[in-house]
Amino acid sequence: MHTVWGYLNRIRPVLLEWSSRYDHLREVARDDILSHLSTVHGSQRKHTLVALRSLFTRAKNNGTIFKNPTSRIRVGQQEHGVIQPLDPGHVQSSIAVVARPADRLVLALAAVHAARPGVIRRLHLDDLDIGNRRLLIDGRVRPLDELTLQLALAWLDHRRRRWPDTANLHLLINKQTALETGPISGVSVSAALRGQTATLDRLRVDRHLEEALVHGPDPLHLAEVFGLDEKTTIRYANSARALLAQTAEHSTSRSTKELGPARGALKNDGHADSTGRA
């Protein structure tokens, strides 16, 4: 039902426009589809065509129309724009709403280590090697920086006091999963940043972009640090290159990026700053 409403909201404007000229869907021609698609670009064009294709395919299968005007219209290769860094104010807003030890650790894992929400919720206690200051994320070993270390220690202390007898081996648990052995839900891991612009996914993307800005737009470096695929690393590298070019053109210093304040704010709130990024 959610998908249906999404499709209808996407194509509602063009349906209203067609209704002023046509009395039936069978009057809509291929040229009408192409004309409307010429007004949208990128992902909007793709989603609009998918919604229209679904509508007319359904109508043809039901016998409402005789010919599908969306047939053989290709989406085309999606052009990705330049990935923009998060506004420092949005990052600060997300930091301000995370008060619980678990949420603070989750934020650090996304903002410092670019961990996806699904990966974060599946982390086990054994993935955190305090003694050797290493962290295993999605099969890749990363150095455990001071910030993440302090937040992890604070969470482990809270976890030990709150659920001393739990048999759950996942790093992050709550009152439900402490009585079980499975991970916390996806809703639980992202709940603290609900409604924020700087979500976990946006913080992860921002971290990738920061690495490309600070260490140079090198796809091989991004692949080595984060294990990203070729297309993704090239997109980040191209975005970083474009942003650095804009910086040079406007003679402004933007290369330090603003995930730094995220870590600085955590430091000012009683935790040590990070010095161990890969």
The per-residue pLDDT for 213 is 94
The per-residue pLDDT for 268 is 52
71 in a structural domain:
no
Say whether both 143 and 26 belong to one domain: no
11 in a structural domain:
yes
What is the tally of structural domains in the chain?
2
The per-residue pLDDT for 247 is 82
Q: At 187, which CATH number?
A: 1.10.443.10
Say whether both 179 and 249 belong to one domain: yes
68 in a structural domain:
no
Is the pTM higher than 0.85? The answer reads no
Q: Which domain holds residue 50?
A: 2-61
Q: What is the three-state SS of the chain?
A: CHHHHHHHHHHHHHHHHHHCCCCCHHHCCHHHHHHHHCCCCHHHHHHHHHHHHHHHHHHHHCCCCCCCCCCCCCCCCCCCCCCCCCCHHHHHHHHHHCCCHHHHHHHHHHHCCCCCHHHHHHCEHHHEECCCCEEEECCEEEECCHHHHHHHHHHHHHHHHHCCCCCCCECCCCCCHHHCCCCCCHHHHHHHHCCCCCCHHHHHHHHHHHHHHHHCCCHHHHHHHHCCCHHHHHHHHHHHHHHHHHHHHHCCCCCCCCCHHHHHHHHHCCCCCCCCCC
Say whether both 51 and 176 belong to one domain: no
Say whether both 99 and 50 belong to one domain: no
184 in a structural domain:
yes
* pLDDT, block means (10 residues), the chain with 278 residues: 76 89 91 86 83 91 91 70 90 95 97 95 96 94 95 98 97 96 94 92 95 94 92 92 84 45 49 40
Say whether both 32 and 145 belong to one domain: no
278 in a structural domain:
no
273 in a structural domain:
no
The per-residue pLDDT for 1 is 60
